Amino acid sequence: MISAIANPRLRRRKLVSAAFRVLCAATAFVVVGILFALIFDLMLDGLPWLDIQFLSSFPSRFPELAGIKSALFGSLWLIGLTALFAVPIGVLAAIYMEEYAPQNRLTRLIELNIANLAGVPSIVYGLLGLALFVRFFALERSILAGALTMSLLVLPVIIIAAWEAIRAVPTSLREAAYGLGATRWQVVQSHVLPMAMPGILTGIILSLSRAIGETAPLIVMGALTYVAFVPEGPMDEFTTLPIQIFNWTANPQEAFQDLAAAGILVLLGILLVTNSIALAIRYWSTK
């Protein structure tokens, strides 16, 4: 009779295999558990404050009157402009590096450096933004200066992700297209970009999610912490959700701590919406 019990070596292998499975499952549950505990705690503090009044009011000294209208609009402006600058530049740069540039030591050096840039602390980009955009180009503390700074911050991530995605498109597919007398642009447009699109979108989601949560570079370059108006153009001064949240958490009154929790819930909501949109695009683009 075939029996695992009769074969001690097989029994040990199966035990190890089962133990590994339990370990992996436990790790996954711990991670997800911590996330849910955090969100639950936030909801406990923040949900009572989360209403139309909160979303449509400007910040105030009085917690019951305070809201995040200006921060919400500031964040949307900032992320919109950042996407507008960083996405096309990043994707085009990646296409150039993989499809057009000669693959030699210089390209490898550039890739290494871009990867390093992705790891530079965000506050360094804040200082660069302050010196370059705020002072040198005299954009002052505008949304435009903030978005340009954020673009610099997320560009390396977008370029690397798009580059990897484009590189993963099989050579055989490119050869098939070139073999039919296609030009480089036709190959890129009809085959490389559609196949790389899911990977490129993942990079965009990750980088914009990071940008929407960044605080340090914006504070360094001088974004305001108290704004009682809605920005009307890219040259207006602004604040963003994470700055507003940071500001509230620094306030000793306990009601403001709860307001911060409500603000975080709004921020999470925006992240969820933008990621869902990107996932939907990703789904439809691969159909």
Partner 1 sequence: MSTPLLEAKDLTIAYGDQVAINHLTLPIPEKKITAIIGPSGCGKSTLLRSMNRMNDFIEGVKLEGAINYQGENIYAPHVDPVEVRLRIGMVFQKANPFPKSIFNNVAWGPNISGLSGDIGLRVETALKQAALWDEVQDRLEEQALNLSGGQQQRLCIARTLAMEPEVVLMDEPCSALDPVSTSRIEDLLYEMKKKYTIVIVTHNMQQAARVSDYTAFIEDGELVEYGETEQVFTNPLKKRTEDYVTGRFG
Q: Give the nearest distance from C-beta 93 to partner 1 in angstroms.
A: 20
By beta-carbon proximity to partner 1, the closer residue of 276 and 286 is 286
Q: Across the strands, what pairs with 237?
A: 142
Q: Give the nearest distance from C-beta 176 to partner 1 in angstroms.
A: 5
CA 211/CA 229 separation, integer angstroms: 22
By beta-carbon proximity to partner 1, the closer residue of 17 and 103 is 103
Q: Give the nearest distance from C-beta 98 to partner 1 in angstroms.
A: 12
The one-letter amino acid code at 283 reads: Y
DSSP3 helix / strand / coil % (the chain, rounded to 5): 75, 0, 25
What is the DSSP-derived secondary structure letter of residue 237?
B
**49 neighbors 258 (Cβ within 8 angstroms):** yes
CA 144/CA 139 separation, integer angstroms: 7
Q: Across the strands, what pairs with 142?
A: 237
By beta-carbon proximity to partner 1, the closer residue of 58 and 178 is 178
Residues near partner 1, by CB under 8 A: 102-104, 170, 172-183, 186, 190-191, 195
Q: Give the nearest distance from C-beta 96 to partner 1 in angstroms.
A: 16
Q: Give the nearest distance from C-beta 181 to partner 1 in angstroms.
A: 4
Q: Give the nearest distance from C-beta 200 to partner 1 in angstroms.
A: 16
CA–CA distances in Å: residue 244 to residues 131, 143, 257: 24, 15, 11
By beta-carbon proximity to partner 1, the closer residue of 101 and 273 is 101
CA 54/CA 49 separation, integer angstroms: 7
By beta-carbon proximity to partner 1, the closer residue of 192 and 227 is 192
What is the DSSP-derived secondary structure letter of residue 103?
-
**258 neighbors 48 (Cβ within 8 angstroms):** yes
By beta-carbon proximity to partner 1, the closer residue of 182 and 271 is 182
CA 100/CA 23 separation, integer angstroms: 46
